[in-house]
Structure 1
């Protein structure tokens, strides 16, 4: 009789070693970001395991000798129940490509597949509904659109410079703002700052990324920045780039994507490299040198530091007037938490 148990990997070193051994046998990364793990045991032997982070199911492994026991579905049901209790009804799975038929039989739909990773989903809203929204937002008659995907945490003169440059090259530019709430400013705040900062440009449409571009689902390493293993970041970056190229770009008839060069973050640099490799020849990647003012390269990181230190002069130098006004409007209501937690600058009583 098999037994299902929760594994407390951070507290139980013996169990962590069993889990690690099973993961390594399956050639899976033991450094994956996970918040909850289950295991199936045959006596004292760990024979299957599965984990999730938010609504992303990952690290699914069944020992080779137990492949005929339908342990994947026995693992999946309680994991999904736990995720539902956390408030999610939309699930993603990262797994190996050879398991595609198994998970499709369990009601999952394939989003994208690479040689290394299969990425599936179940529930709503899903990729189909997101793509339907993009079709509604498409500017008709534009066949050479450009795109920029940004976190804008917050929106700086550097971001504005990138958008203005793209607008001079492309007849229309779609600016996607990351929907993930893992940044110091909320998704809503960042969206509003971007809309205000590009309002003077008539050939720009601002859209959310939802779960399908640089998100916790497609590219979780992005939010770990340089704490993320670069090999893992590279695999995820490639998957994110392929999803964009094959699912999103064709709908909006995108021919160009614009990014800033990346002297600060190795993970973002890995992403730029992945896009360069994946996009050619259908999509041209334009890499612009970052804007500098008074020999200082503009970055959102420097702006957040200036906010903590109340450095008004740097804010005036690095922020467009629209962002400066937005922040000043709520500045006295900003809850500043210098420990670096999520939504570090979160406005109250909005």
Structure 2
């Protein structure tokens, strides 16, 4: 660093000791551009101390004692009467210290940034990672168990699934007609509360009995089943449950194989009360076409005016021709009576 001219004009008298065993001697102290110069009475320089290496052994005390950094045995004493020189040296030391790199501070800053990154990861990344991992490793048997437990919470409100054997057999045949390759799919009808249809973990779809009792054809129920199949293909029902329940649920499922108490009940309430977005229309129409089901009855069941579901009506894959029958008339009658009429 370059020292200001006002400091270079200062002159002071001090006592210099070259080493601990050497007697002190009087020296003249001046400040050069980058060094502290100690001279004898003939103005001959005895030593030069680097200003950036200048240290004070006794800050605030007098006489002020200075020494080169790393060599406390060589000292310079300045009496209190040399206050102007002492202030100048202390100011120079402070200025040099401010400009000096501080690895400790840098480490602290880097550590703080790392901690912030870890906390951010914990808040934003870890819950998603836990959830994705849980969804990927939970076996089908556990999914079925979770789905049954969730169904129990739902049926506290909706009522027990309707269990008329002949009606259930007809419902099974409807499932095979709509999704012939999905052998794990199970359909069940409940008396109420469920908003049309709900896909649960373990490939269980709960259907409200009104889908059979309030309509004259099975196409409506088939449409809601297809919509739930599409939702499940787009977003895993177990992942939706864990996303709603939070990171604790994912962690507990991974560690002890169970969900926190109350998580299923809270999620069941959410499913029964909160509206869900409708599936993508184009993808849903492809499902109707593949399953050979008309989309128009489903569209009017969603909106009796057809205004908000016009694309499902206009692009019905079977708008001009009839698809293969979904069920024999006898099975449809059984479904309409599955909950006792």
More helix by share: 2
Greater radius of gyration (CA): 2
Larger strand percent: 1
**Same-fold call, TM cutoff 0.5:** no
Please, what TM-score do these two structures have when normalized by structure 1? 0.20
